[in-house]
Structure formats: C-alpha cells, structure tokens
Amino acid sequence: MTEHKPWLSLPDEDPPERGLAELLAAARVKAEVMASPPWWKRMFAVLRRPPVLALATVMILIGGVIVVGGHHDTASSPAPSLDVPAGPLDTRARSTAPEAPPPAPPPPPHEVRTEKQLDESPHVGGAALDDTKQAAPQVETEEATDSADDRGETLKAGAIQGKKAPLDPLARCRQAAARRDCAAAKACMKDLGKVDVANDATLKSCL
Amino acid sequence: MFNDTADEDLMVMYQKGEVRAFEVLLTRHRKPVYNFILRFVGDKETAEDLLQEAFMRVIKGAEAYKRQAKFTTWLYTIARNLCVDQTRRRKHRKHASLDAPMDAGEESGTLMDVIPGSEMASDRKSVNKQLHEQMQRAIAALSEDQREVFLMREFLDMPFKQIADVVGVPENTVKSRMRYALEKLRLELDEYKDLAKAAPG
C-alpha cells in the first residue's frame, strides 16, 4: 500500500504556538457573549423553533378562514349586519312614535257597542254619563292594544287621540239629552237633519 | 474530560459558553488543519497565518453553527476557502516563489533547485528528505482542484461525500479529480524509484 502511496510517508509538521494565546482569548470573549445572549435573541430563537412556527401557521390559517367566512356572510346577507350596530338607532326609532303605523280608527263595532251601552242605561242619568266617560277611554285602550301590538307608547298615543277625537254627532245629541239639555239636543238633532228617534229612548224623552 | 466527546457536541457546549470545549477542539484539529493548509499553499508562514484565520472564523461563526452539520466539514470548508483565496491572490500578484515552477510548464524545475542550498547540495545525507521534497513538489504541481481533493482524501481520510460537501461539487466530480490527481502523481514520482535505488542501504 505504501509502495503505491509514497506520499503517506510524508511527516506531519507541528503548528507553531504563535497566535495560540490570541485564539484562546478571542474564544473566551466569544464564549461569554454566547453564554448570555440578549433577551430579544433568545425570544427570536424560541420563535424560530419548528413547533412555534407550526402553531403560528395554524393560527394564521384559522384567522384567515374566520375573516374570509365573515366577509362572505356579510356579502350574501347585508340585513343582519345592519341589525347588530343599530342599538341606539333602534331606540330612536321607537321614541319617534309618529313614524310607527298610526293606530287604526275606531272600528264601527266598538261604536255600536258604545251605543248599546248607552242604550242599556238610558234612565240612570248621571250614572250613564259616567259610563260614557269611562267607556270612551276603555274603547280607545282596547283599540290601542289591538292595533299597536302591546306597545306602551302607542297605547298612550291612542289614549290621547281618543280624548281629542270628536264625538259622533248622534252621540253628542244623546249626551245632551242625557244631561236633560233638551235645547242642545234639539239643536244637535236639527243639525243632523232627519234622525229616526223612534227607537232612541234618550232622545225621545227630550222631544 | 471532553476527550471522547464528539466535535459537534463540543461545539454545542462552546456555544453555551464552555471555553474548555473549544480548547479541546483546537487541540484536536489544529495540527491536521495546519498540515492541510501547508500542503495546499506550500508556505509555512502563509500556512500559520491561514491557520490562525481559520480558527478565528470558527470562533466568530460559532453562534451560527448548527448541530446537524459535521464540524470537520465546516472547519475544512473554511480552511479550503482561505487557501483558495490565498492562491488566487498569489497568482494575481505573480510573486516568484521558491517552490513555484520557474516556467509555465509543470515539468520545469523550481528556484529551490537552482539556489545552492547548504542542506541539499552539501551532503545529500538524507535521501528520505529529498524524497519528501520531491513528493511535496509533485503535490504542489497538481492543479488546485485536484490538490484539494487529493489532500483531503489521502491525508485526512475524508469520504468522497464529505469532500464533495467541502468543495461544493458533485461526488462523481470529486472521484474524477482524485483519479486524475493520482495518475499525475505517479507520473511525477517516477524518479522516486531511482532515488530509492540510489539511497544508501
């Protein structure tokens, strides 16, 4: 083997000692630096570790899916998105009652019922008047309850409207007759023109 | 304490601030690296400087060292790069070297052959020394690519794969360069037989 590779008989030379102390001093300084790396280097080293990188990747993917999914929902159905931030707007909308659908005018059957109530108590005198006074708000209250889906605001508005609403001319005539104010009742009936008072006991008593 | 510890483990310990680990590495590799550099550049003074520079680079780059890399691959890559840079600088300066061939042809003699040296001319006592010089010249006559491969393979017993990693070429290229280097050396060392015959005893 040596015959074929004569260069292997070449002796190795020892390196000089020159510069060895310098090397060791530099190594010591570097070792001190490496032994206590700054916090950000340690932090960076931790962040660069494969498990942390994998976790970060997963988090980014999940976040991306959430963002993209939310954006997709918003694009497809805009109505719910308006609902969410409209808390104050909703309150304001409720406070502005006029914008809400106005309560329906008192339906005729109620009036008929009122008339019947008046008819049923023609001879009570003052009591009939009290009944009439009570009846009107009650009727209006019922109407408000029916028309405004139990809303308190609408109920109040309905009550106010009930007080201000002009009475039926015939009912006014009846009220006047019930008060024994026959003059007023007659004038009222005169304004109405032809009125069939045959079946109306209250008016008949005044005539 | 650290004599049986692997180079890579010693390097990791040094990264943690253990200076003793680096001292062991230095003791273990200083001589082979020095001889590699010396045979590459053929000049003792330059070899000393390059040896110092190589280990300084190891110290500076210690933080960046990864446990997965083989320490000797990293160390000899540094040493080899320094040698290549040095030989390129030397070529650029075109300074006459005692060991360099006088003519462009590789078969011409060197300045060392012409200058009357007291050792060589006076007595020729040691044929072995002459033979060694002859071999050193033959190695120096190899091309740079072939020389580095030859030195790592024959003197450092590196596997072809590791040489390929150090040099940065495919393994087959390394094998090819090695084959050419051996052929060339055998041609150069034909005189060795005559010298061996002429040697007393």
- Domain coordinates in residue numbering, chain A: 107-165, 170-207
What is the structure's pLDDT at B9?
94
Task: Express each pLDDT in A54-100 by its tens digit.
Answer: 999 999 999 999 999 988 877 776 555 445 454 454 444 444 444 44
Share of chain B above pLDDT 70, in %: 77
What is the structure's pLDDT at B45?
92
Phi, psi of B27 (to 5 degrees): -65, -40
Average pLDDT, chain B: 82
Is the CB of residue A50 less than 8 Å away from at least one CB of chain B?
no
What is the structure's pLDDT at B11?
94
Answer yes or no: do A19 and B52 touch at CB < 8 A: yes
Domain topology for B1-95: Rna Polymerase Sigma Factor; Chain: A (1.10.1740)
Query: What are the structural domain ranges in chain B?
Result: 1-95, 97-201
Residue B17 region by backbone torsions, left for phi larger than 0, else alpha for psi between -120 and 50, else beta: left
Confidence band, pLDDT 50/70/90 cuts, at residue B8: very high
What is the structure's pLDDT at A73?
79
Answer yes or no: do B26 and A32 touch at CB < 8 A: no
Q: Which of B35, B128, B138 sits opposite A13 (nearest CB)?
A: B35
What is the structure's pLDDT at A110?
47
Is the CB of residue A34 less than 8 Å away from at least one CB of chain B?
yes
Mean per-residue pLDDT pooled into runs of 10, chain A (207 residues): 67 88 94 85 86 94 93 69 49 47 52 47 43 45 46 46 61 83 82 70 74
Query: Which of A10, A28, A42, A49 would you mutate first to test chain B, the one with the most B CBs within 10 A?
Result: A10
Nearest C-alpha neighbor of A28 from the set B75, B71, B1, B21: B21
Q: Name residue B110's beta-bridge partners.
A: B101
What is the structure's pLDDT at A179?
84
Q: Is the pLDDT of residue B116 over 50?
A: no
Task: Express each pLDDT in B92-106 by its tens digit.
Answer: 665 445 455 444 444
Answer yes or no: do A10 and B135 touch at CB < 8 A: yes
**Strand, coil or helix: what is B192?**
helix
Task: Express each pLDDT in B23-78 by its tens digit.
Answer: 999 999 999 999 999 999 988 999 999 999 999 999 999 989 988 889 999 999 99
**Token pair recorded at residue A107:** 């339906």
Q: Is the pLDDT of residue B120 over 70?
A: no
User: Which residues neighbour B81 within 8 Å (Cβ) at sequence distance 6 or greater?
Assistant: none
Is the CB of residue A17 less than 8 Å away from at least one CB of chain B?
no
Q: How far apart are CA B110 and CA B101, in angstroms?
A: 5
Report the chain B residue with the minimal C-alpha distance to residue A30: B59
Q: Is the pLDDT of residue B197 over 70?
A: no
Answer yes or no: do A27 and B59 touch at CB < 8 A: yes
Phi, psi of B110 (to 5 degrees): -110, 170
Task: Express each pLDDT in B142-173 by its tens digit.
Answer: 999 999 999 999 999 999 999 999 999 999 99
Residues written for chain B: 201
CATH class as words, domain B97-201: mainly alpha
**Strand, coil or helix: what is A55?**
helix
Residues written for chain A: 207
